[in-house]
Each structure stands twice: as C-alpha cells, then as structure tokens.
Amino acid sequence: MLLERFRKAKMAEVAELKAKGVPKAYKGVRPDFLKALQGPGLSFIAEYKRASPSKGRIRDDLTVADVALAYAAHGAAAMSILTEAKYFDGDIGYLFDAHKTLLAKGYALPLLRKDFLFDPVQIEATAGTPASALLLIVKLVEDDALLQRLYERTRELGIVAVVEVTDDKDLARARDLHARCIQVNARDLETLTVNKEKAMALAHAHPPRAHETWIFASGIEEAKDCAQLTQAGFAACLVGTALMQGNPGDNLARLVGGCRDY
C-alpha cells in the first residue's frame, strides 16, 4: 500500500527525533491560517512542490524562497510546503527559508507543513518551525485515540490541524475530532488517480458545518472549477502541480483572476 510506503519512509526521521529530541518551540508569530482563508470568494493555498510519486520530477530549479515571494505577490492566501524527502524532495528547512524571505519583504503568509505525520514527536517537531498549520491524513492514522491525541496536541501548540479526508468514513472520523479545518483530497491515496466529482459529491452529501472551513485539494487546474467549489461550500483550494509547471506566480495570478469571473 502506498500510504504504508510513505509511513516507512518517515520512520528513520521519527526515530532520530526521538533519539536526539525535538527543537524548542518557535517563538515568533504564526500568521492566522484559518483567518487567511476567510476572504471574499475562493481562497488559494499555493504549494511548493518539487516532485511527487504521480508526476516524478516537477521543478527543482526554483527555490522555496523565490516561489514564496511569487505566491505572496500574486494572490495566495496561504502557502503549502512539502517537507517529505524521499518521494517529494522536501525538507522541513523549507519552512524556515520561506518564512524568513516573506518576513523580510513584509508578507504575513501562513505556512502549511504538508507531510506524513503519524507520531506525536512529529507534531512537536513542527512546533519548532514557523508553520501555522500542519496536515493530518485520517487514513494514515488508523487508531482513533492516536488521531485524537495528534489533533489535540496540535491545537495546544497553537497550530491549525488540516484534517484530510477522502470519503465519508474519513469525514466521520474528522468530525469526531470536531475538526475546524477539513481538507477533501480528490486524489486516491493508494492509486494516485484524481476524481474531482467524487470529492464534490462528498461535500454535497455532507455539507460543511458552520464551524468548519473546508479545503479542496488535487486536480484544480482551471478557473472554471472555482464556481463549483464555492457552491459546494469550500472556502479554499490547494493547488500545487498546476502552479509549479511554468511560472508559479503567473500561473497563480491567472487562476485567481479567472476565478473572479465565475
């Protein structure tokens, strides 16, 4: 199973964190991730993504600092950064690089750590970075008690848990957590195929509740998708590959500008 491969790829990192200890918690200001997604219309979480299992190498000639500035200048509400090394060529240090560059230019863009997190020590390690949010994939954490523990600890540390679901069973578990931020991934985490219609159907069958902020992830490439997302109750969408192929800033500007026409 692909998710199990992702988990195994993180085990050495988890063991090292437990052996050496996690860094001290970041003391700076974390921009408000949820507030950033509450703007008028659909908000965009723009992603820095160098590689993926489905696409292989995407871009390795662009630094996270350069891309962060391009996203901030062209309408991103927040930025997602892949930190998984083996399959996505990520690094937790990218969170610091992006934050430092954005801060120097006066941008307060919230950062989402996107990785495969399943052990409490990974949550503590994330708290040592400037990340405003982190990803918790429901299917990756089969034990309900552990999922609850990860979620609660994330909140205690002042970080937003973006709880990712792909079906109604996942959604029920996310709602058992009273999750405030739910991400519906249109990509099947085992086959890597994208089914936007299935993800939309989940939102229509179980509409976002008043206290929930919903994010749509995977498969968004054109502005025409925006109206459907808004009608289904999504506050934001996360876009990665479609932005990184070409000029990330220009690609984001076209997507944000085009959405205003729908």
Average pLDDT over residues 110-119: 98
Going along the chain, which residue ranges are E strands? 43-48, 51-52, 56-57, 78-82, 111-114, 133-137, 160-165, 181-185, 213-217, 236-239
- Domain-wise residue ranges, the chain: 2-21+33-259
In the chain, what percentage of residues exceed pLDDT 70? 99
Cα 41–114–187 angle (5° rounding)?
70
- Burial of residue 154, with CB atoms counted within 10 A of its CB: 0-12 exposed, 13-18 middle, 19 or more buried: buried
**pLDDT tens sequence across 69-82:** 999 999 999 999 99
Neighbours of 153 (CB within 10 A): 16
Average pLDDT over residues 144-149: 98
- How many secondary structure helices (H) and strands (E) does the chain include? 11, 10
Q: Crossing angle of helices 168-176/196-205, nearest 10°?
A: 50
> What Å distances lie between residue 68 and 28, 48, 195, CA to CA?
18, 8, 28
- How far apart are the C-alpha atoms of 72 and 176, rounded to whole Å? 34
pLDDT at 261 over 70: no
pLDDT at 262 over 80: no
pLDDT band, very low/low/confident/very high, at 88 (cuts 50, 70, 90): very high
**pLDDT tens sequence across 150-175:** 999 999 999 999 999 999 999 999 99
Identify the H or E element spanning 129. none
- How far apart are the C-alpha atoms of 255 and 109, rounded to whole Å? 18
Query: In the CATH hierarchy, which fold is given to the domain comprising 2-21+33-259?
Result: TIM Barrel (3.20.20)
